[in-house]
Structure 1
Amino acid sequence: MVYIAGLLGFLLVLTVDARVGSSSESEVCGKETKECLLHTPLCQGKDYEVRLYDSTKWVSTDETCVFMGWATMKAFRRLFKYITGANADGVKIDMTAPVVVKVENKPLFEKKNFTMSFLLPSQFQLDPPEPTDDKLYINTLPATKVYVRSYGGWMMSGTDSAHARTLRGKLDEAAAQYNSDFHYGVGYDSPWKMTNRRNEVWFVVQGEPVCPPASP
């Protein structure tokens, strides 16, 4: 009984640490999904904000392409099949938010590596179904602090690159240290939502985060 109680307590801690929960708990999450990635806000100003995300499990796939739009279209189809039952357990998995794309930082018209990831719902964070497509894999993202810039419209090669450049400029002005090899393009809305869309660019913090100037 002591062993079982201890095990249950350990699993509970893991579930809490994952910070995947009701979309209504977060101001940045929409209402299209039941669950989303939750975060701890560290600071926010006129140029960017800083957030802390706990370690979470995702299902991911890679594409190498020039344009983000083409890469993400192919990757999204693959991942969508996984959550609609093309997995080792044959289970359907609820869509969550956000969808995250890791983008290699290279010039606009060069081939880049893209990794698209779907966040696994809380019930699958401890034991996710294995993919049956060998181009998919379960990916654990470690606890991470990120610099964030938000924008509307559609996340495509041009818009993502433009906002990533803007954020990098603001971080450089603030003498903030960050990983410049890649950034994350982050989308909160389904492809079928036409208005009031939310996207973000993330850079991973290195060292101690530098808070932005306060909003006027």
Structure 2
Amino acid sequence: MKALLTVFTSILVAGCSVIGENNLETAPYTVVKSTSGDHKIEVRQYAPMILVSTNMSGEVGKSAFRRLFKYITGANEGASKIAMTAPVIMDQENTGKGAEIAMTAPVFMDENSSTPVMSFVMPKDFTLANTPKPTNPEVRVSEVTEYKVAAIRFSWTLSDSNVQKHTEILEKWITENGYVASDSPVKAGYNSPFTLPMFRRNEVLIPIR
């Protein structure tokens, strides 16, 4: 599933501490299977998710992140104001009027397709029908269903070497446990850039069947 592939770690939210705690809502999922030991691995079935997405451009996707951030802080068509679940750093250029939408972790970023895409996950009470329409034509709304993954959790950074190491561990586990990968690996980060590396929650997720 090409719309979901990697998580942009620079979430830029206030309310995130240097030890990794934050008040952000997390995309809901059910744990189907889990392991213990040196590596924490889970098989997860995610609930249906509403995504707002945009093509990535600029250094490390900063332009895409800015467009999506503006969307959740007002660059949308909305008649009512939606309460924020966590305070965020407001962009001074965001002068559009509209609903303010809670920021949810993680932020997905597809780096492997021909046109890289970044996506924010909307809070769980959002549907295709009630999600405010973006005022920027470069931002679009979609729904993801039946998203089942194997996930491995680790700390420190989402460096290429750290991601590759845990991807290989997860791919081996998937094969040994009778699953088949159905799409490319996903990187996931849940903390602000201010969180100390040893306290960060990072993940690699691989869609499976």
Whether TM-score is above 0.5 comes out as yes
Structure 2: gaps spanning 5 or more residues: 1-19, 79-97
Q: In the TM superposition, what is the alpha-carbon distance from 1:43 to its structure 2 partner?
A: 0.9
Query: What's the C-alpha RMSD, in Å, of the aligned pairs?
Result: 2.6
Hey, what's the Cα distance between the residues in 2 that align with 1:152 and 1:114? 25
- Of 95, 100, 105 in structure 2, the residue corresponding to residue 92 of structure 1 is 100
TM-score normalized with structure 1 length? 0.66
Hey, what's the Cα distance between the residues in 1 that align with 2:138 and 2:161? 26
Residue in 2 that maps onto 1:101: 109
Hey, what's the Cα distance between the residues in 2 that align with 1:159 and 1:103? 17
Hey, what's the Cα distance between the residues in 1 that align with 2:74 and 2:116? 24
Residue in 1 that maps onto 2:154: 151
Q: In the TM superposition, what is the alpha-carbon distance from 1:82 to its structure 2 partner?
A: 1.1
Q: 1:199 is aligned with what amino acid? A: N
Hey, what's the Cα distance between the residues in 1 that align with 2:23 and 2:117? 22
Q: 2:49 is aligned with what amino acid? A: T
What secondary structure, in the 3-state scheme, does the structure 1 residue paired with 2:68 have?
A: helix
Residue in 2 that maps onto 1:42: 32
Hey, what's the Cα distance between the residues in 1 that align with 2:177 and 2:204? 17
What secondary structure, in the 3-state scheme, does the structure 2 residue paired with 1:117 have?
A: strand
TM-score normalized with structure 2 length? 0.68
More helix by share: 1
Cα gap change, 1:117/1:157 in structure 2, threshold over 3 Å: closer, same or farther? farther
Q: Does structure 1 conserve the Cα–Cα contact (< 8 Å) formed by 2:150 and 2:207? A: yes
Structure 1: gaps spanning 5 or more residues: 1-29, 106-111, 207-216
- Of 159, 169, 179 in structure 2, the residue corresponding to residue 166 of structure 1 is 169
Cα gap change, 1:156/1:72 in structure 2, threshold over 3 Å: closer, same or farther? farther
Q: Does structure 2 conserve the Cα–Cα contact (< 8 Å) formed by 1:104 and 1:114? A: yes
**% identical equivalent positions:** 31
Structure showing greater Rg: 1
Q: 1:98 is aligned with what amino acid? A: P
Residue in 1 that maps onto 2:52: 59
What secondary structure, in the 3-state scheme, does the structure 2 residue paired with 1:154 have?
A: coil
Deviations 1:34-88 (A, max 9, x none): 42212111111145210111111011122379xxxx4433322221111111122
